[in-house]
């Protein structure tokens, strides 16, 4: 018999992970990020950039998870990363670069919070932010396309990270 969310046996848990969104402003993506963050027990989301709002399109996609996930807005992503570094976060960019390595080959440090930086839907994580990261990780892909939707990639990354932290 298929179970619904309310009758499943999943144990609720919060992981020391903050998602840092660098100029992500597409409402359906923001709503989907809330659902993904809730599903994986993420501690916090920081939406960085200008003009980001939680409107009707976001709440429709989020299915009310914005009520349960901690989030904040910030104008400057670099300031947020600097602040998280000062708090001893592992700074991880989810981005394909010339030196990135596959996420499934990375061993996440236990007992150290993680800041996962995800980038703009069109331009990815900026070069200035990549320079501040401890690691750049990517998801191996086997088709013709060189990228996937930011929320899909984040979901895959959070699966791998939380699997290792269990």
| Residue 146 banded pLDDT, cuts 50, 70, 90 | confident
Whether pTM > 0.75 for this model: the answer is yes
d(CA 46, CA 137): 19
d(CA 12, CA 26): 28
pLDDT tens string 64-120? 999 999 999 999 999 999 999 999 999 999 999 999 999 999 999 999 999 999 998
């Amino acid at each position: 018999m298929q179970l619904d969310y309310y009758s499943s046996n999943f144990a609720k848990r919060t992981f020391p992970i903050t998602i840092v969104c660098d100029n992500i402003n597409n409402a359906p993506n923001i709503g989907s990020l809330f659902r993904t963050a809730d599903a994986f027990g993420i501690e916090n989301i920081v939406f960085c950039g200008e003009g980001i709002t939680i409107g009707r399109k976001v709440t429709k996609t989020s299915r009310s998870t914005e009520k349960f996930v901690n989030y904040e807005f910030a104008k400057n992503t670099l300031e947020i990363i600097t602040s998280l570094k000062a708090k001893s976060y592992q700074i991880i960019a989810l981005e394909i670069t010339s030196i990135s390595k596959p996420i499934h080959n990375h061993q996440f440090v236990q007992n150290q919070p993680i800041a996962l930086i995800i980038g703009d839907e069109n331009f990815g994580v900026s070069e200035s932010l990549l320079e501040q990261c401890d690691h750049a990780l990517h998801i191996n892909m086997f088709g013709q396309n060189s990228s996937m939707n930011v929320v899909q990639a984040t979901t895959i990354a959070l699966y791998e990270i939380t699997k290792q932290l269990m």
